[in-house]
A and B are shown apart, each in its own frame.
Chain A
Amino acid sequence: MKNRLKVLRAERDWTQAQLAVELEVSRQTVNAIEKGKFDPSLPLAFKAARLFGLSIEEIFQDEAGS
């Protein structure tokens, strides 16, 4: 699954650690999600969507469908 987390974070000039605090996960988890190594659960994806004021589809894209 692809995502725009890194771009959205960079647009806001946030560090991975700051985003991790907001999402209540570890910095390592943010890093793994950004790199596409770990797919977040639906609740975490919703949390990220709320944080950035976007829909889940605007952040996460299914690679199989693209």
Chain B
Amino acid sequence: MNNHNTKPDSWAAKNTKNTLIVFYWTVAWILTTALVKFGTEYVWQSNRLLTGLAILFNVIIGFGMVLAVKRYLVGLDEMQQKIQMDAMALSLGVGLVIGLGYQSMGQTNLIPFEAEVSHMIMLMSLTYIVGILAGLRKYR
């Protein structure tokens, strides 16, 4: 294969580009999430129109982030996709089972604090990271 040293590393370059795009969308989404929270609290206070517009903007940017992640996942190779899929399945399963149990604990006052969605997001994020690390270790 004579051309093998001259072939451009286009797949890796495309992956790097997709990763950067996900990063930019994620930063934009975090910023618009902060805008909703802090804008309502410190800038425009009770202005419902501005709050609504900020939330709408946040949701639109959120969808952009989801599409960027989808493009990133499609661009991965098949083993990387499997690692991602396994980690996401683990995260979803743990989130569903623990989430419902956690909600029940909150509703029945088994826990002294309110069961919040943010706690579940943190749990699912940590589970996803553990899943990714386990996948990388499995195929190392």
Partner of B7, one of A21, A31, A40: A21
Task: Give how many A-B residue pairs fall within 8 Å (CB-CB).
Answer: 48
| Contact present for B1 and A44 (CB under 8 Å) | no
Q: Report the minimum CB–CB distance from A23 to chain B (whole Å).
A: 8
| Contact present for A18 and B79 (CB under 8 Å) | no
| Contact present for B9 and A21 (CB under 8 Å) | yes
Contact with A along B31-50 (1 / 0, CB 8 A): 00000000000000000000
B contacts, CB < 8 Å to A: 1, 4-5, 7, 9-12, 77-80, 82, 136, 138-140
Contact with B along A15-27 (1 / 0, CB 8 A): 0001001101110
Alpha-carbon distance between A26 and B80 when the two chains are bound, in angstroms: 8
| Contact present for A29 and B4 (CB under 8 Å) | no
| Contact present for B80 and A29 (CB under 8 Å) | yes
A contacts, CB < 8 Å to B: 12, 14, 18, 21-22, 24-26, 28-29, 31-33, 37-38, 40-41, 44, 51
| Contact present for A24 and B77 (CB under 8 Å) | yes
Given contacts A21-B12, A22-B1, A22-B7, whether A32 and B77 have CB atoms under 8 Å apart is no
